[in-house]
Amino acid sequence: MERASADFERDTNLLKQVRQQVAALAEMKGRYDKEIENMEWAAKVLPFLSDPDKVSDDDFSLISIVLNCVNKWIQLQPEWRLRWYSLRWDEIKNYVVSKRA
Protein backbone atom coordinates (compact mmCIF):
# COMPACT_ATOMS: atom_id res chain seq x y z
CA MET A 1 0.00 0.00 0.00
CA GLU A 2 2.84 2.38 0.85
CA ARG A 3 4.52 1.62 -2.42
CA ALA A 4 1.31 2.32 -4.36
CA SER A 5 0.90 5.59 -2.47
CA ALA A 6 4.50 6.59 -3.23
CA ASP A 7 4.04 5.67 -6.90
CA PHE A 8 0.83 7.70 -6.99
CA GLU A 9 2.58 10.77 -5.54
CA ARG A 10 5.48 10.37 -7.95
CA ASP A 11 3.08 10.07 -10.87
CA THR A 12 1.14 13.11 -9.66
CA ASN A 13 4.35 15.14 -9.46
CA LEU A 14 5.36 13.99 -12.94
CA LEU A 15 1.95 15.06 -14.29
CA LYS A 16 2.35 18.49 -12.70
CA GLN A 17 5.78 18.87 -14.28
CA VAL A 18 4.46 17.79 -17.68
CA ARG A 19 1.57 20.26 -17.39
CA GLN A 20 3.99 23.07 -16.58
CA GLN A 21 6.21 22.13 -19.52
CA VAL A 22 3.25 21.94 -21.89
CA ALA A 23 2.04 25.34 -20.69
CA ALA A 24 5.52 26.80 -21.21
CA LEU A 25 5.67 25.28 -24.71
CA ALA A 26 2.23 26.69 -25.55
CA GLU A 27 3.31 30.14 -24.40
CA MET A 28 6.52 29.91 -26.43
CA LYS A 29 4.57 28.73 -29.49
CA GLY A 30 2.28 31.73 -29.13
CA ARG A 31 5.28 34.07 -29.05
CA TYR A 32 6.83 32.37 -32.07
CA ASP A 33 3.54 32.53 -33.97
CA LYS A 34 3.39 36.27 -33.30
CA GLU A 35 7.01 36.70 -34.45
CA ILE A 36 6.27 34.76 -37.64
CA GLU A 37 3.23 36.94 -38.25
CA ASN A 38 5.36 40.07 -37.76
CA MET A 39 8.02 38.75 -40.15
CA GLU A 40 5.43 37.92 -42.81
CA TRP A 41 4.00 41.41 -42.42
CA ALA A 42 7.46 42.95 -42.71
CA ALA A 43 8.27 40.86 -45.79
CA LYS A 44 5.24 42.41 -47.50
CA VAL A 45 5.53 45.99 -46.26
CA LEU A 46 9.29 46.67 -46.25
CA PRO A 47 9.78 46.31 -50.03
CA PHE A 48 6.85 48.69 -50.50
CA LEU A 49 8.37 51.22 -48.12
CA SER A 50 11.77 50.85 -49.73
CA ASP A 51 10.63 51.42 -53.30
CA PRO A 52 6.87 51.82 -53.75
CA ASP A 53 7.13 52.17 -57.53
CA LYS A 54 8.46 48.62 -57.87
CA VAL A 55 5.78 46.94 -55.74
CA SER A 56 2.29 46.36 -57.01
CA ASP A 57 -0.45 47.50 -54.64
CA ASP A 58 -3.55 47.27 -56.81
CA ASP A 59 -5.91 46.68 -53.90
CA PHE A 60 -4.25 49.39 -51.75
CA SER A 61 -3.65 46.90 -48.94
CA LEU A 62 -0.01 47.88 -48.44
CA ILE A 63 -0.62 51.62 -48.35
CA SER A 64 -3.49 51.08 -45.92
CA ILE A 65 -1.11 49.17 -43.60
CA VAL A 66 1.39 52.02 -43.81
CA LEU A 67 -1.27 54.66 -43.12
CA ASN A 68 -2.59 52.69 -40.15
CA CYS A 69 0.95 52.53 -38.75
CA VAL A 70 1.44 56.26 -39.24
CA ASN A 71 -1.93 56.94 -37.62
CA LYS A 72 -1.01 54.81 -34.57
CA TRP A 73 2.39 56.47 -34.37
CA ILE A 74 0.85 59.96 -34.45
CA GLN A 75 -1.54 59.06 -31.66
CA LEU A 76 1.39 57.94 -29.49
CA GLN A 77 3.26 61.24 -29.83
CA PRO A 78 2.69 63.13 -26.57
CA GLU A 79 2.78 66.59 -28.12
CA TRP A 80 0.21 65.57 -30.76
CA ARG A 81 -2.05 63.28 -28.76
CA LEU A 82 -4.81 65.85 -28.29
CA ARG A 83 -4.73 67.32 -31.78
CA TRP A 84 -3.75 64.43 -34.06
CA TYR A 85 -6.88 64.93 -36.15
CA SER A 86 -5.81 68.42 -37.25
CA LEU A 87 -2.20 67.67 -38.20
CA ARG A 88 -0.91 68.53 -41.61
CA TRP A 89 1.43 66.31 -43.56
CA ASP A 90 4.12 69.04 -43.53
CA GLU A 91 4.12 69.04 -39.72
CA ILE A 92 4.64 65.29 -39.65
CA LYS A 93 7.49 65.42 -42.19
CA ASN A 94 9.21 68.28 -40.35
CA TYR A 95 8.94 66.45 -37.05
CA VAL A 96 10.37 63.22 -38.47
CA VAL A 97 13.21 65.04 -40.24
CA SER A 98 14.09 66.89 -37.04
CA LYS A 99 14.30 63.60 -35.12
CA ARG A 100 16.51 61.98 -37.77
CA ALA A 101 19.11 64.77 -37.71
Give residue limits of the domains in the chain. Answer: 1-51, 56-101
Type of residue numbered 20: Q
Q: Is pTM beyond 0.75 here?
A: no
Q: In Å, what is the CA distance from 89 to each residue of 54, 74, 75, 96?
A: 24, 11, 14, 11
How high is the mean pLDDT of the chain? 83
Position 100 scores a pLDDT of 60
Contact present, 85 and 71 (Cβ < 8 Å): no
Within 8 A by CB and 6+ apart from 70, the residues are 92
Q: pLDDT digits over 20-66, tens only?
A: 999 999 999 999 999 999 999 899 889 988 888 888 888 888 888 88
On the question of pLDDT at 83 being above 70, the answer is no
